[in-house]
Amino acid sequence: MASDATRQLFLTGLRNAHAMEHQARELMERQIERSTDYPQVEARLRQHLEETKTQIERLNTIFDELGESHSEFKDAAMAFLGNMAAIGHAVAPDEILKNQLANNAFENYEIAAYKSLLALAQDGGASASAVNTLKQNLAEEEAMAKWVSEHVGEVTLDYARRTHAS
């Protein structure tokens, strides 16, 4: 049974997720431009950027289903994600490394956000297909988090080699 309080919590979580994904998209667009020396990173970011655009569409579909317009609200500023974005901006020689660490944090933040949403979804009034949609987003975040975690060592050594070579 959907209680009004749970529905409100769920909607707030959805709006936060929407803001988070917009932040993710901007972050990756910036990082892609700056990752051309690291083709493996660039390729994975491009893949996840496309996934992220689809994630935003999935969230919009849920808003539509719930009769909530996604254009009626402004995405809330989120301090944590703002900080991550600032790291994305930073022009430092080891930017590529800082971005891997930031992305590790960001993807794990997204995982927690979707788990939180899924905990509320059923009582919050989400349909079975909306729940599946959130699970698809979660699975993509988990795959990206795994990739970042598995490649941070390799990217670090690649960076170290380039630094010594120059």
Q: How far is the CB of 164 from Fe ion (least distance, A)?
A: 32
Whichever of 121 and 144 has its CB closer to Fe ion, that residue is 144
Which option in Mg ion, Fe ion, none does residue 155 bind, with CB closer than 5 to 8 A by kind?
A: none
Return the C-alpha torsion angle 83, 84, 88, 90, nearest 10: 40
Return the C-alpha torsion angle 19, 136, 146, 77, nearest 10: 10
Evaluated on CA atoms 48, 52, 53, 58, the torsion sign reads positive
Buried b / exposed e over 62-88, threshold 16 CB at 10 Å, is: bbeebeeebeeeeeeeeeebeebbebb
Q: Out of 10, 100, 110, 114, name the contact with Fe ion by CB under 5 A.
A: 110
**x-or-dash string of contact with Mg ion, 42-81, rule CB under 5 A:** ----------x--x--------------------------
Report the distance separating Cα 31 and Cα 88, nearest Å.
Answer: 7
Q: How far is the CB of 2 from Mg ion (least distance, A)?
A: 25
The residues in 85-124 that bind Mg ion, with binding defined as CB under 5 A, are 110
Number of residues that bind Fe ion (CB under 5 A): 3
Q: Out of 84, 141, 147, 159, name the contact with Fe ion by CB under 5 A.
A: 141
Q: Is 21 in the site for Fe ion (CB under 5 A)?
A: no
Residues that bind Fe ion (CB under 5 A): 110, 141, 144
Residues that bind Mg ion (CB under 5 A): 21, 24, 52, 55, 110
